[in-house]
A and B are shown apart, each in its own frame.
Chain A
Amino acid sequence: MPHDHDDHASELSEMQLRVRALETVLAEKGYIDPAALDVMIEAYETKIGPHNGARVVAKAWADPAFKRALMEDATKAVQSLGLINRVGDHLIAVENTPKLHNMIVCTLCSCYPWEVLGLPPVWYKSAPYRSRAVNDPRGVLADFGLTLPADTQIRVWDSTAETRFIVVPMRPAGTDGWSEEKLAALVTRDCMIGTGLPKQPAGIA
């Protein structure tokens, strides 16, 4: 790939050396314990990820009282689920409707709701996404294979402060009576960023 994530062997070996030097020196000087880094990395690999956000969206679909609480104060509502230690204080849920599609970006860096979606994918942090999301969101959606009706309003949220956004997509038809667990299987990471739609019921049969 010509951009952000660059697999060049030269960067790999240079960065391996630099990061190893940083870790060794910072550990020898007593600032950090490498074992604590292991614990943190394991959390990012196993505990913190889009499965948390999927549970939030599924519950919002299934439970109108939770949905109201989520739209009113997402930090408090997500906290009440006890998925993770503590959610950042400034989480905001934005809802898609038949007439409105929300999309999240950070044009200045790569701000992303880590607590509910995990670490951002490479494309979210890349120059093509960060540059185009705000002036050509339909073109970006086309890169994801998604075309929305021309009369759907597209609302792009540029995360320029410490507020963080999660999209609540529309619940797919044909899911009446589904459990939250089953609904959560329809909720993809990309549909919570706004670059995708939830899976259709047939897609997980």
Chain B
Amino acid sequence: MDGIHDMGGMHGFGKVEPEENEPVFHAAWEARCLALNRAMGAIGAWTIDEARAGIEKLPPDVYLARSYYGKWALRLWNMVIARGFAGADELATGHALHSAKPTKRKFGTAEVPRALTRGSFGRPAQSPAAFKVGDRVRTKNIHPPTHTRLPRYVRGHIGVIDAIRGCHVFPDSVVLGAGENPQWLYTVLFDGRELWGENTDPMLKVSIEAFEPYLAAV
């Protein structure tokens, strides 16, 4: 999706402003919001890819105006309703009014260690890798209206396979309900001038993690 979330290379957002001695959370609701989102993921309500897509679907003005956890709260609100875990009427009144949707498990204290551990996204290879380290590749010029992990700023550009990272769950398929459809994942390295033009710092290199369907041989 060519959305506002795809920020690489955009201008006009100003300086980076680090905060001295930043606290882990700036308000109690941020901590509850983080934990609720992780908890619903841990009971299998949705995958990490579907959760990311949920953030990207926020309207651009909302995306830019809200803080990080503000976006997480709105995403959770929208997805809980869209997937039938609670009704809009229940969230509006702040109390359960209907029976619950069946889930694989409930999020109790026994589930916390699992929720704190990142899942594994590596999968057995379905076929040999199409590229090897050192190969030149061109990223495809694709613009799917749904979730993808190929940023706009690299599309149509030539890079070099820098590393092969194994075969991974393919987010673009997961969000379509088409299953994990595992794909080879590569680190693809670009010269800064290839991406941003000849006046760019010649000492800049940028890499992305690219799934094989994003790449074509040169």
Task: Indicate if the CB atoms of B107 and A32 lie closer than 8 Å.
Answer: yes
Asked if residues A123 and B18 are in contact (CB atoms below 8 Å), the reply is yes
Closest A residue to B27 using CB positions? A12
Q: Please give 4 more A-B residue pairs, beta carbons under 8 A apart, in addition to A84-B116, A190-B18.
A: A5-B68, A22-B33, A89-B122, A143-B17
Indicate whether B129 reaches chain A with its CB closer than 8 angstroms.
Answer: no
- For the complex formed, measure the closest distance between the CB of A110 and the CB atoms of chain B, giving whole angstroms: 7
Determine the interface band of chain B, counting residues with CB < 8 A from chain A.
Answer: 35 or more
Verify A31–B207 contact, CB threshold 8 A.
no
Q: Which residues of B from 90 to 140 have beta carbons under 8 Å from A?
A: 90-92, 94-96, 99-100, 103, 106-109, 111-113, 115-122
Bound complex: CA A121 to CA B20 (Å): 10
Q: Would B18 and A144 count as touching, CB distance under 8 A?
A: yes
Q: Which residue of B112, B206, B211 is within 8 Å of A158 (Cβ)?
A: B206
Q: Are A25 and B91 closer than 8 Å at their CB atoms?
A: yes
On whether the beta carbons of A11 and B8 are closer than 8 Å, the reply is: no
Measured between beta carbons, the chain A residues less than 8 angstroms from B7 are 107-108, 127, 130-131
A164, chain B: closest CB distance, angstroms: 8
Contact of B185 (CB < 8 Å), options: A41, A89, A155, A161: A161
* B36 and A32 form a contact (CB under 8 A): yes
Q: In the complex, what distance in Å separates the CA atom of A14 from the CA atom of B33?
A: 13
The 3 closest A-B pairs by CB, nearest first: A88-B118, A107-B8, A161-B209
B203 lies within 8 A of chain A by Cβ: yes
| CB atoms of A32 and B94 under 8 A apart | no
B80 touches A22 (CB 8 A): yes
**Chain B: CB-nearest residue to A164:** B118
In angstroms, Cα B2 to Cα A108, docked, is: 11
- Smallest Cβ-Cβ distance to A153: which chain B residue: B203
Tell me the chain A residues, 49-76 only, with Cβ under 8 Å from chain B. Answer: 49
Could you tell me if B65 and A6 are in contact, using CB atoms closer than 8 angstroms?
A: yes
B interface residues, Cβ below 8 angstroms from A: 5-11, 13-19, 22, 24-29, 31-36, 38-40, 43, 45, 48, 52, 55, 64-70, 73-74, 76-77, 80, 85-86, 90-92, 94-96, 99-100, 103, 106-109, 111-113, 115-122, 149-151, 153, 165, 168-169, 171, 185, 187, 192, 195-196, 200-201, 203-211
A109 to B8 alpha-carbon distance, docked (Å): 10
Across the interface, name the chain A residue whose C-beta is closest to B68. A125
Q: A residues bordering B, Cβ < 8 Å?
A: 1-7, 11-12, 15-16, 18-26, 28-33, 35-37, 39-41, 43-45, 48-49, 84-90, 105, 107-110, 114-115, 118-119, 121-123, 125-135, 137-138, 140, 143-144, 150-164, 190, 195
Contact B95 A24 (CB under 8 A): yes
Known contacts A126-B16, A162-B168; A107 and B151 CB within 8 A of each other: yes
Considering the chains assembled together, what is the distance between the CA atoms of A39 and B16 in angstroms? 32
CB atoms of A31 and B85 under 8 A apart = yes
CB-based contact A22/B117 at 8 Å: no
Q: Which of B77, B116, B207 contacts A18 (CB 8 A)?
A: B77
Listed A/B pairs (29) with beta-carbon separation below 8 Å = A12-B27, A15-B33, A22-B36, A25-B90, A26-B39, A29-B96, A29-B100, A31-B39, A33-B108, A35-B109, A37-B36, A41-B25, A44-B24, A45-B31, A89-B118, A90-B122, A107-B6, A108-B6, A122-B19, A128-B13, A129-B16, A130-B7, A131-B8, A131-B10, A132-B16, A144-B16, A153-B204, A159-B209, A190-B18
